[in-house]
Structure formats: structure tokens, C-alpha cells
Structure 1
Amino acid sequence: MSEYRLLLIEDNPADAELVEDLLDDCAERGYVVERAGRLREALGLLEERPFDIALLDLGLPDSQGLDTLRLLVESAGGIPVVVMTGHQDRGTGTGAIRLGAQDFLPKEELHPALLARALHYAMERYRSQREVRLMATAFDSAQAIVVTDPQGRILRANHAFTRITGYAEDEVLGKNPRVLQSGRQDLEFYHRLWTELLENDHWEGEIWNRRRDGSVYPQWESISAVRNEAGQLEYFVAVFHDISEQKRLEAELEHEATTDRLTGLYNRQRFDAELDRALARTERYASEAGAILFDIDHFKRLNDTHGHDIGDRVLVELSRRVAHSLRRADFLARWGGEEFVVLLPETDAEGARYMAERLRREIAATPFEDAGPVTISLGVTILHRDDDPDTLLKRLDNALYDAKHAGRNCTAYHHRAPGEDADAEAPPLSLLQ
């Protein structure tokens, strides 16, 4: 049998004894009763330990009438209260209900069944009211909440939903949430979503949706299935929030981590990742790709003669010129210092050498402001299916070394590095100048 802690606030000993006797006769439930003869005493007990319910007489030595209830509710609002009234004072009982009491009982009508029923329903109503307030607070949270029926028709949407999507609740009631779809996810994505949701009663992930004004945004969404006691599906509840700012910050951090600050080109870290992908494509699909490593001839002399500010301007302008000459699919990165590297997808050996020589001539053809003529030396190779990053970069570095050793302002091509198995159809080294 469940036991409940009841605080009996009654100054009349006879009435208090009567209530306890009636509670003893409530066979279906047990109550542990503590008495308080004054309001101050009751408030002290409520501060010391929890109670499930309070049974309150409005006429106490230190407080009278509805003020007694008001002070009790204000000081200890986390407990349901049933008021006892006398003299058939139903007007006072009605006023007590308006002030927050769960029920009122005329003393002269008390009997075990009535008292037990009143206390039980008072606790149930209080619990239900708290749950309703909790759900209302949660529903008005900063996160968007959408409730649909099992067929996916929208039944409720909160204010955060309107703020994020631009749709008022009455505009989407009865509609399917697919009205928000952006088109960025394919049918396979939604198939996987629904499969996981129906198997596990839950799905969570990133999804792109479209606002009422047509703008597309990313959101983090959690969808849960709500079932009744028989296991039948009753609702779907989706909770989501806009992660546009989070994505923007992630993009900024990614940009800072993978971009050279001076030139705005990709840095060596990003190049390493791109090279891994290019080598994987070459191995898997036997696709052709070229690579160029180049640097500025006598760059130290340029810095010593004109100053580092002019040297930095040369690096920035050279980066702009090279990027302008490359194709959209090509990948350009600053390797470090005055060295740069280019990946040329879908490019054979002849195409890679042609691109390198084109870059060499274009850089040499136009003097740089405040620095005069600038030339570059270039090492060229192609990616092989059995290459790893170290092997390829060593071959590029050797080719660049040969270009410089040959007098600079020229292009050297290595098909294979010394010691590698060379393909019969191509020579290991060729120079263009």
C-alpha cells in the first residue's frame, strides 16, 4: 500500500483527531500525518522536509481566512493543498480554489470515502497541472518543436518553429513537414531516416531545410516516435535548431586552418589532404593526374634588394597570376616560403609539362611592380598508381632541383625518380627552357 506524507494544519485538537481517524479508515491508501497548530509551524515543517499534500484549516491562531492559504501557497508553493471550511462557507471554498487550492471540504460533511477521494484527486490534479506547465514551458523553448500524427500531418508547431522557418503555425497545420525540404538531400537520405526512425523510434542528425522566404539553412534535428501503452504509434515529435552560425564558425576555422594568410591560397596541410585523395583516385580508377612544384628564382636576393614588403607583394601577385592561369579543377597551394605546388587532375604527362611551361612564360613575360622581372623554376611529374605521398614529393623535389641546376627559369620533368622502376615509354628527365 502506498504511503503519503500529509501535513495537517489544524489548531483544534478534536478536529485534528477526527481527520486522523478518518484517514485511518481509508483502507486503500496510507497516510503518514504530521500536525501543525499554527501557520508559522507549518511553514517550518515544509522547509525541513517534503510532504505530498497539505490539509489546511483557514482559521488559525496566527492567520485567518483566505490570507492563510495565500501565505501558504506563496511560501511553500510546491505542494497541493486541500482546504477545510466550516459553517457551509462555500464562498470561501470557491475563493480558495481561485487562490490555488486543489479542493475544499466542509468539515461537517467529512467521512472516510470523501476525504480519501478528495486527497487522491487533489494530488493527481496537481501532478497533471505541473506536467502541463512543464510541457508548455518546454514547447515554448528556444528550439523548434513540431508534433505530427502517424501519417506525418502537422498538429502543433511552437513559436521557435515560426522564428526559424518563417511559417506561422496555422500555415502548416495539416501539412507534411516536407514543405520545408530544400532539395539538398536525395530520396536515399530520407529512406535511411525513416528506416532508422521506425526501427528505433528515434533519428537524429543534420538536415538542410528551406525557410518560407526561400533561403536554405542547416538544422540539427531530433525526431522521436511516441507510442501508447499498447505500442501503437500516436505521434512524431521533431525538435530542431538552426545551426547556420555553427556552420559559419566551422567554415571560418577550417579556412584559417587550411589557408595561407599572406596569399589566400591553400596551405601545405590542405595540400597533403588533397594529394591523398588524388593518389587514391589514381590507384582506384587509373586516372591520370599531373603535379608541379615551383619556386621563385633568387627570391632571397629580391628580399635583400627590395625589402620583405616588396617580396610579400610579389608572392601575392604571383599567386594571383598563377591561379588565373589554371583551370577550375586544378588545385594550387603555397608549399612554404617562395615554393608553390599544383595538382592537375585528368592531365597526362604532356599536358602537365605544357601547363608548367605556360606558367613559366607568363610569369617571366610581365615585370612585377617595384620588383622588376621575376622568373620561376618548375619541377613536373605525373601520379602513378603505386605512388605514395613521400615518393611523389621526392620526385617533384628532384625535378625542381634539376630545373635550378640547369640554370633556373626552366621546367624539368621527372617521370620516375632515380631508383624507381621507370616506364619504358617515357624518359626519366626532360628540360624545357
Structure 2
Amino acid sequence: MAPLTPQILILDDDQTFARTLSRLLRENGYDAAALSNGDGLLEYLAVRPVDLLILDLSLPGRDGFALLEAIRREPAHDDLPVMVLSASPPSEISERALGLGASDVVGKPFRIRELLARIRTQLRAGQQLNRARAETRAQALLVEILREVTGDLRPDQLFQVLVRRVAAGLRIPRCSILFARPGAERGTVVAASENPMLQSLLVDLSRYPEVQRALQSGEALLVREAQSDPLYEGVSNPSTTSSLVLPFSLRGERAGVFFLRTGEGDPPLGEADVRFATRVIEAAAAAIEKSQEMEEALKSEEVERQAAETDPLTGLVNRRALGSRLRQEVERATRYGTVLTCVMIDIDHFKAINEVHGEEAGDRILIQFADLLRREQRAVDIVVRYGGEEFVVLLPETGSSGARLFAERILRRVSHSSFGDLAAPIPVGISIGLATFPDERAADGEALLRLADRNLLRAKSDGRNRYRD
């Protein structure tokens, strides 16, 4: 979007004339290129920017009128300024040339000053048209970006959308969002268009003096020529040729910057880029605030949910949450035709332990036993403190034989572990009841839990410190 040196293309079969005119144009601040015939003209215009075409009507083969007509049939070039040159008197060819879409007609030979004045006029009109077109495109792009960022995106998703769309809109290689406070020594890059995988990179801000200055001033900072700008004195950053830093605030406080950079071969950033990026960021700040508020609310809800479903003493899932977890696992086993084992465990003689050693010692044993179960837990298993000294373990995709191996392992771990105070360990035993779904005696989760409880009572009545299924 930055203003560039005007690009002029000369199409003339007289190569000596074309070289002379190209040199003259370059001496007057234009970039000029030349073609000797029209065979590759449309292909050239499709891949290279041209601000003005100077077309000689007297071309061999396909004449200039046919080329002019072909150019105007292409929607991408229908408003390209075309100045036609002709050795015939302008009065003879002007009406036809202008009717086909020529912007101006100049007779050969011409006076240099007059030609340059006509070129300036055509470029000025083209630039005004290009500016209007650029503003229209920028407005349309801004609407697209806002439509995309005003959805229910998480902050990390929103950041990625913003850097990707701004970089694409400005056609620059690097756009990043960096969070930092004024005066901070370090900042966190949360998104970068050149590296979509980057999410949270800590950077030393002393390497980015433009970021430090923009954060401190709170104003946009445009560096058109990084290599010669005093701001970069003593800073080794050879890959940056121009940069734009736009601070943004969240909830009334300066929070960070949008950081745009170009490299070797890229058009330098300019005022048009500042205007476009500023409009995007002003609108995006509200979207970022909304997204962060939503994420904080969701996190708060999740913390509250976890607190409501967690046993405060052991940190295990509590009895309140067991019902929904058990129902989900039974539904999953039914849907996929797999098995599910429910393990109910009771610490033997726990009431006596509390009476002899005190409730503090009893709590310590509950915590230690919960840790033992947690160490044996697979990623898919669910360990629950059912109440008092009773625990439940749900073993998805585990049948009777696997459940017995699990019970034997837990019994063995308990027998080899020390509970209570290490200086005065307390002997602990457990009884286990197993029930596996599907079973004709357990059609749903509640029935499966009752069956495991009955088997637990059998283990106790058979002498404790064992399992039954």
C-alpha cells in the first residue's frame, strides 16, 4: 500500500527510440521497461505492476489499435492509463484511439517537456484512481477481518486470524502481536504470521527499539528506512527494511503492540499502511477484550465445576460427580460394544484406626491411599472417593480378567506400603468388590455400582484383605 516509484512500460518496435525514452524517464524519477512487440503484453501486465503504458500504434503484425482494444477487454486493465504515440497527425487517429480507451494521444516527433507534462497528468489521474480503489479494497478487507474476529474465538485463535489477515492485506511477510507494558524489558509474542505454530515467545525488547519507543509514547511509529534510521543505531537487525509499530490498549491500559515489518525486496511500509492497520487494530482491541473476558469466564466456570466435583481432602473425583462419569462410561461401552469394570474399595477397620490413632492420622491414610490409586491410574481410568473410607475406580475397556489383575496389584501395593507416620506406621488392609459391564445383573450404571458393592460385602464377610467378583 506504500507509494512506489511509478512503473512505465513502453511498447515500440523502434528499439533505439525505446531505449532513449526509457533513459529519459529514469532520469526524471520513473522506472521504465520496454517491449518491442505486443505478443507478450497481456502476460507482462498480468505479472508486473504498470502505472502507465506508452503504446506506439504503428507496430508490425498486431497493430496498436488491436492491442488497445484487447487491453480494454481485460477487466484487470480496463482503467490502466494508455498514452498512444503515432507518426500520423493526431487529428487523423485521435477519435479512433480515444474511442477505444486511450487516455491521451501524442504525435511523433514530440517535445520532451510536453511529453513529461502529459505523463505526470496521466500518472496523477491514475494515482487518484488507485488510491480510491485501494481505499475501497481496504474497507472491504476490514469488513472481512471484523466479520472473522467478532465470532466466538479463543484469544489464541483470534491472534492468529489478526496477524494472518493483516499480513495478507498489506502484502508483507511479517506481522506479530506482542504483549508488554511500557518500560518492560521483555515482551511476549503471542502470534506471528511467519510462524503459525508460535504462541508464547519471550523476547528481549532491547533488540526492538521501535517497540520500546511505541510502548512508551503510546503512538504509532513508522520507520520507512530501517537501515538509515538513527533508532536502529547499534542494533543488529539486517533483515528489517521498514517497520510499523501500533500500540493497543485493553481495559484502559496499554497492553502491547502490533508489529509489522518488511524485508529485502518488499515495498516499504507507508502512511496508507498506517491508516489501514490502525483501523483494524482499533476494532480488533474490542474483539480481544471480549475474547479474553469470555476465556476468563470459562476458566472461572471450569474452576468452580472442578471444585464442585473434587474431594477437598484427597483431590480425587467426588461422589457427586461419579453419577455422570459412570453414566457416560456405560453409554460409551454400550455404543462401541466394549466392557467397563467398576471397582469398589473399602479400607478395613478404618473406624478403629480413627479411634486408636485419631482423625488426623485417619485423614493422612486416606490421602496416602488416594495417592497410591492415582499412581496406578491409567489416563482413561476414573478414581473416586465415594465417601468416608470407600473408593471407586472405573476401568474402561477392562474385562473380568483385567479387573482381577488390577485388584491383585492394588492388594499387593497396599501390603508393601507404609501408611500414617513413617516413624510409627499403621497397618492397613483393604477389601475390593468387582463388577463388569455388560452383565445380566447390571443393566445400567447404578446397577453396576450396586453389584460391585455386593461383591465388596462378600470380600469383607470372607475375611477382608481380598477381592470378590
TM-score higher than 0.5 here? Answer: no
TM-score by length of 2: 0.41
Q: TM-score, normalised by structure 1?
A: 0.44
